């Protein structure tokens, strides 16, 4: 049987309407090289979304492959319950050295959603056993359009209706306010003359419920999954400061933004933010293996110390916590960031992306383009003047991605937003090709005669 036939017979894909999946032809990826993926018939595609925002240094990097093989020659997996190993300790030290602010402790897991859940549980438990305890601080605050993963706790602090509304009865209650979505401002103001007026509502709610709030959880600088909604500069920092003023912990979700995506190692650096807890995942292993982590300050960590009968233990873990092969891949990826000066070399590519996006902004059905570093989104609209969206049933984003695929570029839409997330090491010529194909594909779908 062919791979495609078996897939359609046996598999169930993430975020996928299987009825459509089964009816349409599907691409089978066979191998990869650098920024390219190759299908089973040998056709080549530029990986325009870094295999869902993870690939940093390209596919099949000799250095990361070698680190993985070297680790396999020692041990592929050993439990982290009651044992430790060098790849985990070395990586933890490196992460603490790189992390913003005063994060000092690393708790491993294997997906971004788990890293967020762990941060939520740590924040909740911290207030139960800090000295003196604040048992009323059990709730969380987040913004509309936040995305933190698909497990029940991570969904509870999420705010993307398409993904979360159905599950409402399962989710724990939180406080939530609209975030800054400047293109579709709920206050009908415009930036910068608004003075970021929407912050007032956020600050008021955090202040009003500070006694109940364990933490504010937030995607810094840009809400990725909701459609690359970029916040005004200073916005994330203002919310961090509000949390601090009211004695509420600040959990930053750098799962998407971490590891160079916004142009610095972490988005927090650009906003001068020192978080209390930080979730990382996606690019942590350079795009190789599932690995995530939650970083905590020493102050939070200390609240969990005590004799065995103190009840302060953090009872949380996953079978593959701290997998040594994944840690080895992450270490090799961090080495590459240093030896190749990846972030320095990225800066001209970020400018090139900015230029290319400016060109796209002039297209007849491009309503808004948004970018933070090497994360970008192109919002397509039926009517530019009224900002009227294309109806979801038209699947405009999906069709643009199909056009791009026919031209040798893999993209993945977020509704009517075309996400552009190239590998950090993409070359000038490759990025130029990517931008041309995005433009051609958007035109092919939105400007072709009915
Ligand atoms: C992708 C993502 C997650 C979830 O990560 P998974 O590894 O898919 O569970 C959480 N937060 C943000 C900001 C993300 O982009």
Same domain, 179 and 92: yes
Q: Are residue 82 and residue 34 in the same domain, yes or no?
A: no
Q: Within this chain, do residues 39 and 188 fall inside the same structural domain, yes or no?
A: no
Which of 313, 339, 365 is the C-terminal boundary of a domain? Answer: 339
Final residue before a domain boundary, out of 306, 339, 372: 339
- Whether 224 and 256 have beta carbons less than 8 Å apart is answered as yes
pLDDT at 309: 94
Same domain, 330 and 425: no
Distance 74 CA to ligand 1 centre (A): 30
Per-residue burial over 130-167, b if 16 or more Cβ lie within 10 Å, else e, is: eeeeeeebebbbbbbbbbbbbeebbbbbbbbeebbeee
* Residues 120 and 29 reside in one and the same domain: no
What pLDDT, on the 0 to 100 scale, is given for residue 311?
Answer: 92
Residue 331's H or E segment, with its range, is helix 324-339
For residue 292, the ligand 1 atom closest to its alpha carbon is 7
Domain span holding position 19: 3-57+342-446
Q: Output the six-digit token pair for 367.
A: 């309503």
Q: Are residues 177 and 79 in the same domain?
A: yes
Segments of the chain with pLDDT less than 50: none
In a shared domain, residues 70 and 210: yes
If you measure from the C-alpha of residue 303 to the centroid of ligand 1, how many angstroms do you get, rounded to a whole number? 27
User: Ligand 1 pocket, 281 CB below 6 A?
Assistant: yes
Does the beta carbon of 111 lie inside 6 Å of ligand 1? yes
Q: Which of 308, 339, 370 is the last residue of a domain?
A: 339
23-55 per-position pLDDT tens digit? 999 999 999 999 999 999 999 999 999 999 999
pTM value? 0.98
Same domain, 139 and 254: yes
3-state secondary structure of 446: helix
Among 114, 116, 117, 255, which residue has the most ligand 1 atoms within 8 Å of its CB, making it the best to mutate? 255
Distance 193 CA to ligand 1 centre (A): 33
Domain containing residue 414: CATH number: 3.90.1150.10
Which residue's CA is the nearest one to ligand 1's atom 15? 256
According to the model, what pLDDT value does residue 164 have?
Answer: 84
Do 356 and 216 reside in the same domain of the chain?
no
Q: Compute, in angstroms, the gap from residue 226 CA to the centroid of ligand 1.
A: 12
Where residue 308 sits, what CATH number does that domain have?
3.40.640.10
Q: What pLDDT was estimated at residue 450?
A: 57
If one counts the domains in the chain, the total is 2
How many of the other CB atoms lie within 10 Å of CB of 381?
20
Chain segment 200-216, per-residue pLDDT in tens: 999 999 999 999 999 99
Our answer on whether the CB atom of 147 is closer than 6 Å to any ligand 1 atom is: yes
- At 375-434, the pLDDT tens digits run 999 999 999 999 999 999 999 999 999 999 999 999 999 999 999 999 999 999 999 999
pLDDT at position 250: 98
Q: 254 and 346 in one domain?
A: no
Residues 232 and 297 in one domain: yes
> Is 225 close to ligand 1, i.e. is its CB under 6 Å away?
yes
Tell me if 148 CB under 6 Å of ligand 1.
Answer: yes
Q: Are residues 32 and 124 in the same domain?
A: no
């Amino acid at each position: 049987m062919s791979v495609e036939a078996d897939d359609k017979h046996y598999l169930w894909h993430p975020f996928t309407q299987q009825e459509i999946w089964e009816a349409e032809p599907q691409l089978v990826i066979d191998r990869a090289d650098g920024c390219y993926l190759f299908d089973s018939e040998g056709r080549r595609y530029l990986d325009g979304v870094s295999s869902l925002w993870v690939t940093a240094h390209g596919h099949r990097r000799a250095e990361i492959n070698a680190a993985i093989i070297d680790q396999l020659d020692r041990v592929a997996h050993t439990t982290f319950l009651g044992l430790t190993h060098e790849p985990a300790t070395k990586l933890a030290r490196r992460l603490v050295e790189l992390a913003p602010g005063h994060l000092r402790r690393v708790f491993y897991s294997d997906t971004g959603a788990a890293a967020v859940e762990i941060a939520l549980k740590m924040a909740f438990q911290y207030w139960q056993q800090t000295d003196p305890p604040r048992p009323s601080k059990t709730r969380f605050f987040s913004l509309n359009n936040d995305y933190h993963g698909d497990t029940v706790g991570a969904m509870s602090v999420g705010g993307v209706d398409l993904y979360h509304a159905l599950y409402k009865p399962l989710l724990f209650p939180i406080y939530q306010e609209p975030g800054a979505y400047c293109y579709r401002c709920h206050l009908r103001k415009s930036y910068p003359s608004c003075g970021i007026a929407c912050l007032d509502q956020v600050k008021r709610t955090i202040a009003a419920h500070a006694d109940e709030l364990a933490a504010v959880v937030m995607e810094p600088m840009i809400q990725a999954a909701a459609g690359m909604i970029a916040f005004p500069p200073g916005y994330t920092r203002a919310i961090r400061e509000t949390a601090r003023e009211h004695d509420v912990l600040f959990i930053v979700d750098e799962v998407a933004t971490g590891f160079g995506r916004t142009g610095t190692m972490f988005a927090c650096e650009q906003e001068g933010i020192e978080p209390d807890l930080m979730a990382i995942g996606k690019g942590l292993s350079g795009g190789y293996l599932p690995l995530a982590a939650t970083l905590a300050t020493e102050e939070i960590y200390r609240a969990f110390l005590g004799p065995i009968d103190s009840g302060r233990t953090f009872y949380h873990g996953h079978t593959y916590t701290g997998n040594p092969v994944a840690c080895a891949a992450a270490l090799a990826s961090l080495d590459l960031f240093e030896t190749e000066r990846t972030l320095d070399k990225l800066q001209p590519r970020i400018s090139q992306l900015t230029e290319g996006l400016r060109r796209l902004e002039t297209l007849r059905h491009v309503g808004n383009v948004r970018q933070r570093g090497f994360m970008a989104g192109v919002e397509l609209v039926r009517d530019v003047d009224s900002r009227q969206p294309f109806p979801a049933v038209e699947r405009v984003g999906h069709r643009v991605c199909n056009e791009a695929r026919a031209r040798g570029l893999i993209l993945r839409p977020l509704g009517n937003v075309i996400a552009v997330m190239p590998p950090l090491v993409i070359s000038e010529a490759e990025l130029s090709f990517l931008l041309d194909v995005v433009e051609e594909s958007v035109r092919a779908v939105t400007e072709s005669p009915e």
